[in-house]
Amino acid sequence: MQAMILEAPGQPLRLAEVARPRPGSDQLLLEVRACGVCRTDLHVLDGDLRQARLPLVLGHEIVGLVVAKGSAVQRFALGQRVGVPWLGRTCGHCRHCAGGAENLCDAAEFTGYTLDGGYAEFALADQAYCFALPESYSDVEAAPLLCAGLIGYRSLVAAGNASRLGIYGFGAAAHIIAQVARWQGREIFAFTKPGDIDGQNFARQLGASWAGGADEAPPGEMDAAIIFAPVGELVPQALRHTAKGGSVVCAGIHMSDIPAFPYAILWGERCVRSIANLTRRDGEEFFAVAPRAGVRCEVESFPLRSANEALQRLREGRIRGAAVLVPEPSAPQKL
């Protein structure tokens, strides 16, 4: 099968012909129909994260059809469409797993990071961590829901019942979660890179009542803020505009250093917290909410072989909504 392989951090992915994997007893073999491109992929590519595994197939927003399955698989049938998220496997017995916080599992495995992901024609996934997907979404539209949607949703929950919500970085996650937040009746202030007029217009189209540069003051105090951009300077900027008792939620897996800031902007029981990974319950909740909230994804599709171009466009902020890779149909191959 064809796959885009990461061989060393900082180098472009390489299109390679590799052996099609075989499912273990609890695994599905999926024919990849679409795989989202996430900012985390850029962090893995750049070596920002502890490099767990090389060579590696990136990609943790996989929509695929079950074409083979292990002997113990009962949740999904051959031919069924499933989604594979970032959380690839957990131990099930550490104190975090036992306490209902499997997102913090000490021995978790992650799709497209410690496990091969979906920048390929086929991918393996543990059945217990896959999701059935709402039928109202096409393959390419469903892909961004699997991380941008899920992590965005977990971040939104962490923001509490804030009626005025600030969102910093209006990319894939923000464009999905803004729709959920509007459906919940919240008011949204969207912050983009200074001067990103297209991004600000996009945010307004999705229901933001105000959009501006991250260096600007919103028209009123925010009850909470979610930071999707990997920029530490945004933490004190957001705190300055957040009301007493409000949270600033950092949703990314990596962020540049947070500069020192005066205690006065944290005082008043403001809270800065991060969001790490997802639980399967987050996924079940989000996939129930997304169709009810009428969430639609704006997607730019690229052929699998153009993964490097998609990543570069994401890096430069030149993706509107989410980037998704689609494997080209290739000659029939033996399983």
Residues contributing to the site for Zn ion (CB under 5 A): 38, 40, 90-91, 94, 97, 105, 147
Alpha-carbon span 129 to 30, nearest angstrom = 13
Alpha-carbon span 50 to 86, nearest angstrom = 16
Q: Which is nearer to Zn ion, 38 or 82 (CB)?
A: 38
Q: Which is nearer to Zn ion, 40 or 279 (CB)?
A: 40
Minimum distance between the CB of residue 19 and Zn ion, rounded to whole angstroms? 26
Side chain identity, residue 116: D
In total, the chain counts a number of residues equal to 335
Q: Which is nearer to Zn ion, 39 or 164 (CB)?
A: 39
Minimum distance between the CB of residue 306 and Zn ion, rounded to whole angstroms? 19
Residues 147 and 110: beta-carbon distance below 8 Å? no
**Which residue from 1, 12, 2, 9 is spatially nearest to 311, judged by alpha carbons?**
12
Q: Which is nearer to Zn ion, 60 or 186 (CB)?
A: 60
Minimum distance between the CB of residue 145 and Zn ion, rounded to whole angstroms? 11
Alpha-carbon span 184 to 158, nearest angstrom = 15
Please state the separation of Cα 268 from the chain's center in Å. 31
E-assigned strands of 38-186? 56-57, 62-69, 81-84, 87-89, 109-110, 122-126, 131-132, 164-168
Q: Which is nearer to Zn ion, 66 or 146 (CB)?
A: 146
Minimum distance between the CB of residue 102 and Zn ion, rounded to whole angstroms? 6
Minimum distance between the CB of residue 258 and Zn ion, rounded to whole angstroms? 21
Query: Which residues share a beta bridge with 64?
Result: 32, 82
Minimum distance between the CB of residue 96 and Zn ion, rounded to whole angstroms? 5
Q: Which is nearer to Zn ion, 64 or 212 (CB)?
A: 64
Query: Phi and psi at residue 95, in whole multiples of 5°?
Result: -65, -30
Element (H, E) at 261: none
Q: Which is nearer to Zn ion, 105 or 162 (CB)?
A: 105
Minimum distance between the CB of residue 10 and Zn ion, rounded to whole angstroms? 20
Minimum distance between the CB of residue 101 and Zn ion, rounded to whole angstroms? 9
Alpha-helical segments (H) within the chain: 39-46, 95-98, 139-142, 148-158, 172-183, 197-205, 234-240, 280-292, 307-315
Q: Which is nearer to Zn ion, 40 or 242 (CB)?
A: 40
